[in-house]
A and B are shown apart, each in its own frame.
Chain A
Amino acid sequence: MNNQNFIESFIDYVSKNYMRILTATGEHIYISVVALAITLVTCIPLGIYLTRNEKIAPYVIAFANIFQTIPSLALLGFLIFIFGIGNDNAICALFLYAMLPVLQNTYTGIKNVDHGTVEAARGMGMTNLQILMKVQVPLAMPVIISGVRVASVWIIGTAALAAAIGGGGLGRLIFSGLSLIRDDIILAGALPATLLALFTDFGLKKFQYYWIPEERAKRIARKLKVDYSN
C-alpha cells in the first residue's frame, strides 16, 4: 500500500464514518473522565490522610503499586468476574491503574512542604485545616498535578482496551481495524485518542503553571494594576 492510497482511504473512511468516530470519541471521553474523577476524588484525600498517618503510608502505596505490575489486559480480564463485561469494568480497571501516581504525588507533595513554613503557619494560629488548605495544598499543587497528568495520559491511552471486554470508546475502531487488517480504521481510532491525551496533558500543564507562586503573584499584580517587574 503506498502513502497516497493510504491517505485517500483514510479520508474516505473518515468522511463516511465520522458519526461513528465521534460517538466512539464521546464514549472514550466519558470512560476516561469518570475514571479520572473517581481517581481524584479518592486518591487525593487518601494521599492527604496518609501524610497524617505515616505508619500505614508505605503499605497503602505498595498496595496501589501492585496494580501497576499487572498487565492491563489481564486486569481487565480479572475484573470480568466482578463487573461482567462493559464500561464499568473498564472504568474500575483504569481507576486501579491510575491510583499510584495521584496517591504518591499527593503524599510526597504535601510531605515535602517545608517544615519551617508549616511550623510558622501553626505558630501564627492557623488551625490544622487552614494549614492544609492555605499552605500545604497550594504549595504541593504543582507536584499533585504532575501526578494527575501522568494518570490522565495513562487513562486515556489504556481506555482503548475497554473495547476488548465489550466496552465502548475509540478502542472499538482500533480493534475492528486490527481484525480487518485496515490501517485507515486503526488510525481513525488511534489519532483521536492520541490527540485527546495530548490536549489533556497540555491543559493540565497550564493548570500546573497556574499554581506556581510566581504566576499567582503576577496575576495579583495584573488585577490590581501594579507593576510586578523588579
Chain B
Amino acid sequence: MVSFKNVEKKYPDGTVAVDGLNLDIKPGEFVVLIGPSGCGKTTTLKMINRLEECTSGQINVNGKDIMSLNPVLLRREIGYVIQERGLMPHHTVGENIGTVPQLLGWPKDKIDKRIDELLEMAGLSIEKYKYRLPGQMSGGQQQRIGVLRALASDPEVVLMDEPFGALDPISRESLQNELLDIHKKLKKTIIFVTHDISEALKLADRIVIMRQGKIEQVDTPEEILNNPATKFVETFIGSEQLSQISPESSVEGLIEEVIYSMGLNANIRDVLEKMQDMDIKSGQVLNTKGKWCGSVYMSTLKKAKREGGLKVNEALHVNRKLFIEEANLRDAAEMLIDKEGIPIPILNASNELLGIVTENGLAKYTINKLIK
C-alpha cells in the first residue's frame, strides 16, 4: 500500500533527517513509527502526503509514485490526524468532519449523511456535538473528532502524527481502544507516529523503531520485545518499559515550556497584571542574551510593589532552580513542596532556561507511570 525505496530527506542546511529508508507497508496494516525525538519518524510520515518532500528515493502509495501526483489531490486521498489544535477552531464539529468530502466536491446532503454516520459510529450524540465548536470540547473529544475527520472521505491510508500525545492517560487509553476497534472494522492502512513505546506495543501490527534517520528494527511487538535486534532497541524498550518511579531519574521528561518570561527591566505592575490575567503565580526573568536571571513570584512582587519597587529586578529569586545535568525527581519534588508548588526553572550548564517543572506535570508523570 505504501512503500519506501531508498528514501532520503536532507535539509538545505545539510542535516539528514531520513537516510536510506526502505519499508513496505501492506494494505490494512497498522504500522507504528517510533524513536527518540529527532529520529526522523515524523518526517517519514509527512513525506507520505508530501508535507515534506523527499530529496531522493521513491515513495509509492497504492502503486503510484507520489512525486508524479499533484500534492493537493494526493493529500485529499489520505487521512491525516495531528497532535493538537488540528481542528479548525471557527468551524463546527460537523463542518470539521466534512472538510475533506467538501474539498472533494461531494454533494451537500451526502456530506451531511456521512457526518451523522461517523458521529454515530463514535458514539457521539449528533444533536449535542454536530453544531458545537471544537473549543467547547475536551481534548479527548477533539481528538476523537480529528480521527473521524480523517476517516470522512473513506481513505485507504490514514496518517497519524502523535494523535494522543497530549491527552491525559485515561482519555488516551479509551481513544487507543476505539482506534483499534475502528481499525478492526474498517481495515484501513494506518501509519502512526508516537514516542510512547507502550502505545506502540499496544496498537501496532508492526513497529518500526528509528534512530537518527535510519531504521533499527521492523517487527511485530512480540518479536521486538523478545528479540531486540540491536543494543539501542533493547535499551529503548527497556528504559521506557520500567514502570516504577525512581526518585533518581532525571527531570528531563517533566520539562514543560515556560509560560511567561520577561526582561530584567519589566515593570512590576505590568507583570502582576499579566500574571493575574494568565492565572499563574510566577514568571521567569531573562536578560537580553536569553540567559536566566531569576524567577519572580506573585507574593514577593506584591510585597515589592507595596514597598515602592518598580522593576522586577528588585524582587528576583535566584537560588531556587535546578540544573538539568544533576537534577532528579526527588530534588524537584522537595523543591516543589517547599514553596507551595511554584514551578521550578530548569537550566543547563551555561545558565540557559530550558523550561519549568510544575506540580501538575509531576503529578501527571506519576499517574502515567502508575497506570502503565
How many residues belonging to A are interface residues under a CB distance threshold of 8 Å?
A: 28
Q: At the interface, yes or no: B363 with Cβ under 8 Å from chain A? A: no
**Which residues does chain A contribute within 8 Å of B367, judged by CB atoms?**
none
- The residue that A217 contacts in the complex, of B86, B87, B132, with Cβ under 8 A, is B132
For the complex, give the distance between the alpha carbons of A228 and B133 in Å.
Answer: 10
A124 in contact with B76 given A119-B51, A213-B133 (CB within 8 Å)? yes
- Chain B minimum-CB-distance residue to A123: B80
User: Given the known A-B contacts A123-B75, A124-B75, are A139 and B80 also in contact in the complex, defined by CB atoms under 8 Å?
Assistant: no
Query: Chain A interface: which of B88-96, B200-208, B258-266, B293-301?
Result: B88-96
Asked whether, in the complex, the Cβ of A213 is within 8 Å of the Cβ of B82, the reply is no
93-129 of chain A: CB within 8 A of chain B: 114, 116-117, 119-127
Binding-face segment, A55-63, A74-82, A219-227: A219-227
Which B residues touch A122, using CB under 8 A? 51, 75
Q: Are B92 and A125 in contact (CB under 8 A)?
A: no
Q: Select one of A117, A127, A224 contacting B89, CB under 8 A.
A: A117
B64-86 vs A, CB cutoff 8 Å, 1 = contact: the mask equals 00000000111111001011111
| Complex CA–CA separation, A114 to B90 (angstroms) | 12
Within 8 Å of chain A (Cβ to Cβ): is B135? yes
Whether a CB of chain A sits under 8 angstroms from the CB of B307 is no
Question: Judging by beta carbons under 8 Å apart, are B49 and A126 in contact?
Answer: no
Distance of A173 from chain B, by nearest CB (Å): 43
Residue of B nearest to A221 (CB): B131
Contact B136 A230 (CB under 8 A): yes
Contact of A216 with B100 in the complex, beta carbons under 8 Å = no
What does DSSP make chain A's interface, helix, strand, loop or mixed?
A: helix
Residues in B neighbouring A33, C-beta threshold 8 A: none
Check if B90 sits within 8 Å of A216, measured CB to CB: yes
Q: Given A135-B88, A138-B90, A227-B127, check contact A120 B82 (CB 8 Å).
A: yes
Nearest-neighbor residue (CB-CB) of B104 within chain A: A125
Contacts of B149 in A (CB 8 A): 124
Task: Provide the main secondary structure of the chain B interface.
Answer: loop
Residue of B nearest to A228 (CB): B131
Q: Is the CB of B132 within 8 A of A124?
A: no
- Residues from chain B with a CB closer than 8 A to the CB of A127 are 72
A124 and B131 contact, Cβ closer than 8 Å, known pairs A117-B88, A138-B90: no
State whether B103 touches A124 (Cβ < 8 A): yes
B99 touches A124 (CB 8 A): yes
CB–CB B86/A120 < 8 A: yes
Contacts A125-B103, A126-B103, A130-B103 given; does A213 touch B90 at CB 8 Å:
yes
A213–B132 Cα distance when bound, in Å, is 10
Inter-chain contacts of B77 with A (CB < 8 A): 125
Given contacts A123-B80, A126-B103, contact A224 B90 (CB under 8 A): no
Closest to A212 in B: B90
> In chain A, what residue has the closest Cβ to B91?
A213
Contact B133 A214, beta carbon cutoff 8 Å: yes
**Given the interface contacts A220-B131, A230-B136, does A123 sit within 8 Å of B49 by beta carbon?**
yes
Q: What is the distance, in angstroms, from A41's C-beta to the closest C-beta of chain B?
A: 25
* A124 contacts B90, C-beta separation under 8 Å: no
Q: How far is the CB of B212 from chain A (nearest CB, A)?
A: 24
Q: Nearest chain A CB to B340's CB is how many angstroms away?
A: 33
Q: Which residues of A contact B99 (CB under 8 A)?
A: 124
Q: Which 10 A-B residue pairings sit nearest by Cβ, starting from the closest? A: A125-B76, A125-B75, A116-B85, A123-B80, A120-B86, A213-B90, A221-B131, A217-B133, A125-B72, A114-B85
Interface residues of A, Cβ cutoff 8 Å to B = 114, 116-117, 119-127, 130, 134-135, 138-139, 213-214, 216-217, 220-221, 224, 226-228, 230
